[in-house]
Structure 1
Amino acid sequence: MIRRLSSARAALRRLNADSSGATLVEFAFVGPVLILMILGLFDIAHTQYTSSVLHGAMQKAGRDLTLENANGRQAAIDTRVRQQIETVMPSGAQVDFIKLSHADFADIGEPEDILGDDPSNAAGNGVCEGAKNERYIDANNNGRWDADRGKTGIGGARDAVLFTARVTYPRMFPLFTMTGMPRNVTLEASTVLRNQPFDEQDKTRIERNCP
């Protein structure tokens, strides 16, 4: 009996002193965190690279769109930008273009002007209200008041154009499933340009009643 207990104690001491396999156990704790960090770095690097390609393509497209014959080349320019972007995108990427023309740079992002008879509107509540007999300048001539006066398209001579590309694509790495990140990445790049003065600028002023 004593011999058996002594043998058991000796086995326990050997087991306590044996460190083989400890690395495997430690890696089981550290490995998932390390892999998650590596995937995160790859995901961030790919997003930054894609954003850089997108901005470069937009700058080139912006220069091309300032040419006099740009109206007839819009489709070709859009196709070229899309092709450049898709070279670094996973399959399933969606590329959308938004072009808004304005009479001047100062008009970009501004609402259509409201012409109100009501003195209370002098404070600028920014709401086009038919009940107050207000009128507005329909800068984009679409028949309604808009919070952005830009007109769809690249406009005409001397117009300032805000050209935006929005890219949405699924993440290349399964990081989102472990961190709660959205499945898709959305990137935007914009460039502002001015059309060549190849003709007189259209300065038609259209006033309409507020709804």
Structure 2
Amino acid sequence: MSVAALIRRSSDQRGTAITEFGLIAPVFLLLMLGALDLAHTLYMQGVLQGVVQKAARDSTLESGQEEATQLAINQKIEDQVKRLAANAEVRISRRNFYSYTKAAQAVAEPYNDNNGNGKCDDGEPFQDNNANGVRDADGGSEGQGGTQAAVVMIVDVQYPRFFPLDKMIGLPGKVHLSAKTVLTNQPYGQKPGEPVSVVRNCP
């Protein structure tokens, strides 16, 4: 083979673009899917926070104490979340405290761990500071509470990823989001006095 033929062969670039595209395309596709997944997650978080804020404000009205009203509010939250993620699982919880200060502190009610198992059980005594009959890890009570109670509303959402990034780069198969807000029930009546702490026993 002549020198001229070797030079022509070495300068032949046919097929180079396809080879380069084959190497770059998977990486580019993965980056694009990751960006879309992140954008959707951020959008979902923003929508969820807005929905929770609106629902919490509705709950603080006097009518928000009624179970039927709370169920309707919960359904609105779930419906709005599922418009963006049809397979989403939605968990809604409300915890009420005597004041904002107690809600912010979220101090567990103390107990005597006589058997050393790290749980309040087997008749061990505890200080029932909110007088609701059970030991609370955050010092609050379940539900919406009464007039002027500080209410912590938390909505947890999880749904399958839209793109199989869990299989591609090992991310979890489900997206987990959470939104939280604290509001005070409207003063539709006289605020009760602060509960008197009593000693009770765990079951």
- The change in CA–CA distance for 1:95 and 1:135 in structure 2 (over 3 A counts) is closer
Which residue does 2:146 correspond to in 1? 156
Secondary structure at the aligned position of 1:69 is classed as helix
Q: CA deviation at 1:69?
A: 0.8
Q: CA deviation at 1:98?
A: 0.9
Q: Give how far 1:25 is off.
A: 0.7
- The structure whose Rg is larger is 1
What is the identity percentage for the equivalent residue pairs of Structure 1 and Structure 2?
Answer: 34
SS across alignment from 1:18: coil
1:192 maps to 182
Does structure 2 retain, via aligned residues, the 8 Å contact 1:140–1:150? no
TM-score for both structures, normalised by structure 2? 0.84
Query: CA 1:50/1:140 → structure 2, altered by over 3 Å: closer, same or farther?
Result: farther
Instruction: Name the residue aligned to 2:107.
Output: 111
Q: Which residue of 1 aligns with 2:156?
A: 166
- In the other structure, the counterpart of 1:180 is 170
Which residue is equivalent to 1:123?
none
Cα drift, residue 160 of structure 1: 0.3
Q: How many angstroms apart in 2 are the aligned matches of 1:130 and 1:17?
A: 81
Partner of 1:121: none
Q: Structure 1 CA distance, aligned partners of 2:109 and 2:44?
A: 38
Runs of 4+ in 1 over 6 A off after TM superposition: none
Deviations 1:153-173 (A, max 9, x none): 101111000001000000001
User: Which structure 2 residues correspond to residues 55-204 of structure 1 after superposition, within 5 A?
Assistant: 55-72=49-66, 73-89=69-85, 91-108=86-103, 109-114=105-110, 128-129=111-112, 131=114, 135-139=126-130, 141-143=132-134, 145-202=135-192, 203-204=194-195
CA distance in 1, matches of 2:131, 2:54: 27
